[in-house]
Amino acid sequence: MNVPFYDMRPANEACRRQIQAAIDRVIGKSWYILGEELETFEQDFAQYCGASHCIGVNSGTDALWLALLAAGVGPGDEVVTVAHTFVATAIAIIKTGAIPVFADVDPETLLMDPQSVKERITGLTKVILPVHIYGRCADLSSIMELGAKHGIDVIEDACQAHGSQIQGRYAGTFGVAGCFSFYPTKNLGALGDGGVIITDDSSFAARLRKLRNYGQTEKYHHDSLGYNSRLDEIQSAVLQEKVRLLDDWNRERAFLARLYRERLCKVSSVKLLADANWPQHVYHLFVVRIVGDISRELVQSRLEDSGISTACHYPVPVHRHEAFAQLDVPSDFLPVTEQVATEVLSLPLFPGMGTANVDLVCDALLKALTP
């Protein structure tokens, strides 16, 4: 028995011919940066999400960083986000010179807790940055209400939520901007790094297009400082083909997640996160909490011995990493975040995984939980 945590091959094989043709098309044109392929993909993804503008950049991290810069975030500002996320969220904030301020997460969803956000807002708060963790949107209704009440922009970290919806709208379309990553293991993954920012604000989009390309208004004319952060033509061409399959892949993820829930819903040592169907949840990851007398590490080790690969997202909250020690977050500041970091376990889930492998994982997990 051998079930990988994630295998990109089935999804890529489903569109291999189209991907190869797309790459050949770019090579035939011999135009690799800021060309027709990027423009087409930007239009495609904007249309998919229901946004007016899409700006391709070289990673999800840069998408967050440049969106914050475009929103005017800088030294002395505070950005409220969560510590239950990948460190890139906080790194993007720190790169602007601002300070990340961490709100706690809801124990049932592990998404940003609006009440905790309310408690963190100060006169220095410039942006609220919710993270749509694991493929499900945070409580955007409450978060947007808080932003409007205090005159604070909301920028969405949707790097794990391609295609996720809430209130009939897509992730990334509520705040002034939504940021996505196309890292290869994402629901919509490139064959390398990549990212985009979507927005309905034309002036915001114009600022982003300058920021990603050295601050140019036209070639050799720079009226502001900018950076080199561009989604290249090959990745753009590949993503044009893959975005057409995104909904099918997300449906499959949700189907597999439903099978997991049916098998594990009555297991006392396994706490499932709050339920949500596709398209509200696109299951970038299927995460459970290992609770009770048995440790997560022991369960993970036993699964590995059985040929089941798993992961932890995330075993160390952002503020507990040595790189962020200067933030000096008190030990009792984020009780839910601290607790779930010791419990979360991500089970295998990917398009092409198949139902038989879900059964294998569940059987092995039940065995691993046995004292």
Tokens of 165: 């919806």
- For the beta carbon of residue 93, count every other beta carbon within 10 angstroms: 25
**Angle formed by the axes of helices 36-49 and 233-243, nearest 10°:** 30
Which positions ≥6 away from 10 have C-beta within 8 Å? 350, 351, 352, 353
Residue 56, classed as helix, strand or coil, is strand
Q: What is the pLDDT of residue 350?
A: 98
Question: Rounded to an integer, what distance in angstroms lies between the CA atom of residue 361 and that of residue 288?
Answer: 13
Q: What is the pLDDT of residue 40?
A: 98
47-92 pLDDT, tens digit per residue, is: 999 999 999 999 999 999 999 999 999 999 999 999 999 999 999 9
DSSP 336-347: HHHHHTTTEEEE
Query: Tokens 């408690």 identify what position?
Result: 119
- Residue 85 identity: T
314-333 pLDDT, tens digit per residue, is: 999 999 999 999 999 998 99
- Estimate to the nearest angstrom the gap between the alpha carbon of 102 and the chain centroid: 17
Mean pLDDT (the chain, rounded)? 97
282-312 pLDDT, tens digit per residue, is: 999 999 999 999 999 999 999 999 999 999 9
Closest of 91, 138, 123, 76 to residue 276, by C-alpha: 138
**Angle formed by the axes of helices 60-70 and 202-211, nearest 10°:** 120
Q: What is the pLDDT of residue 147?
A: 98
Question: Rounded to an integer, what distance in angstroms lies between the CA atom of residue 289 and that of residue 300?
Answer: 12
- Residue 101 identity: V
Phi, psi of 141 (to 5 degrees): -60, -50
- Residue 252 identity: E
> Do residues 295 and 315 make contact, with C-beta atoms less than 8 angstroms apart?
no
Architecture in CATH of 9-243: 3-Layer(aba) Sandwich (3.40)
168-210 pLDDT, tens digit per residue, is: 999 999 999 999 999 999 999 999 999 999 999 999 999 999 9
Question: Rounded to an integer, what distance in angstroms lies between the CA atom of residue 57 and that of residue 216?
Answer: 15
Q: DSSP state, 23?
A: H
Read off the pLDDT band of 371 (50, 70, 90).
confident
Q: What is the pLDDT of residue 165?
A: 98
Does residue 1 register a pLDDT over 90? no
Question: Rounded to an integer, what distance in angstroms lies between the CA atom of residue 53 and that of residue 181?
Answer: 16
The CATH superfamily holding the domain 246-368 is: Aspartate Aminotransferase, domain 1 (3.90.1150.10)
Q: What is the pLDDT of residue 163?
A: 98
205-229 pLDDT, tens digit per residue, is: 999 999 999 999 888 999 999 999 9
Tokens of 201: 């604000």
Question: Rounded to an integer, what distance in angstroms lies between the CA atom of residue 174 and that of residue 176?
Answer: 7
Going from N- to C-terminal start, the domains of the chain cover: 9-243, 246-368
Residue 67, classed as helix, strand or coil, is helix
244-288 pLDDT, tens digit per residue, is: 999 999 999 999 999 999 999 999 999 999 999 999 999 999 999
> Do residues 290 and 270 make contact, with C-beta atoms less than 8 angstroms apart?
yes
> Do residues 336 and 113 make contact, with C-beta atoms less than 8 angstroms apart?
yes
